[in-house]
Amino acid sequence: MEKLNEFFFNYGMKILAAVLVIVVGSYLVRLVMRMVEKALARSSVDISLHTFIKTVVRLLMQIVVLLTAAGVLDIPSTTFITILGSAGLAIGLALKDSLGNFAGGILLLSFRPFKVGDYIESDGVGGTVKDIHILYTHLNTPDNRRVMIPNGILANARITNYSTEDRRRLDLIFGVAYGSDIEKVKTAINEVIASNPMVIMDPEPIVRMQAHRESAVEITVKIWCLKENYWNLLYDMHEQVKASFDRNGISIPYPTRSIRVEKDSAGTDILR
């Protein structure tokens, strides 16, 4: 009976000590988490990462508290580590794709190749970034469709960000007939460029002959504008250059094909 009492006393003290470790540890976890929240609020870390960072810090600290309590109870810490490792392996295999998206989200939020409000294009999809979550990035396409791209794919794909720079270059090609006066064509285009206030004249606009095609001479035009004026300037140039060509009698050709009819020795028509 005396040994039994001694066993319960010793083990009871260990349980009491373990409970004390958990209580004090929980208090310290809350204290540290308040410090982490204040540090994150002052930092430049993306707000989308705040929840993830706080969750990881809290989880790691709680694991430390549980391992410490287990050590007080003379429970080998290797047992908990083995359980956690097995659980982590099983979860990792079951959520392989989601973990890839998760890792991609961390990379995107850390390196910031784009931000909310930017217009980006990746893997054939273009749109304005609406939200960057830990697993998916949400885009709104120009026709107002919501596209959700897995971050795992986005982090490994080529991303074109059209909003990073203040200026964009507009590249256009106009085809004119071979009989056209090229200097007259260039003058007509330059007049349209000079009359449009959205065109930035420095760097100087480029209007030059680019190529000889089957049925047209191609004139390339390269002009700069503010990024927010890109689409309006694109439409203006097409409309105004067409009107200028019409006023100046400059024809825009379309593909033509010459067909010659000949007769063979039997008098049958042959198309060549």
For tokens 């989308």, the residue is 48
**Contact, 224 vs 168, CB < 8 A?**
yes
Give the pLDDT confidence score for residue 54 in this predicted structure: 80
pLDDT (tens digit per residue) in 128-172: 999 888 788 999 999 999 999 998 888 888 999 999 899 999 999
Q: Give the C-alpha separation, 199 to 172, whole Å.
A: 13
Give the pLDDT confidence score for residue 195 in this predicted structure: 95
**Contact, 160 vs 151, CB < 8 A?**
no
Task: Report strand pairing: 217-226 vs 125-132.
Answer: unpaired
- What is the three-class DSSP state of 220? strand
- Which residues, given as ranges, of the chain have pLDDT below 50? 4
Q: State the virtual CA torsion across 175, 181, 185, 190 in degrees, nearest 10.
A: 150
Residue 194 phi, psi (nearest 5): -65, -30
Q: How many CA atoms lie within 13 A of 50 on its CB side?
A: 16
Give the pLDDT confidence score for residue 263 in this predicted structure: 64
Q: Which long-range contacts (CB under 8 A, 24 or more apart) does 195-202 make?
A: 195/240, 196/233, 196/236, 196/237, 196/240, 198/225, 198/226, 198/229, 198/232, 198/233, 198/236, 199/223, 199/224, 199/225, 199/233, 200/167, 200/224, 200/225, 200/226
Q: Give the C-alpha separation, 193 to 200, whole Å.
A: 9
The whole-model pTM stands at: 0.62
Q: Which domains are seen in the chain, by residue range?
A: 2-94 (1.10.287.1260), 113-161 (2.30.30.60), 167-247 (3.30.70.100)
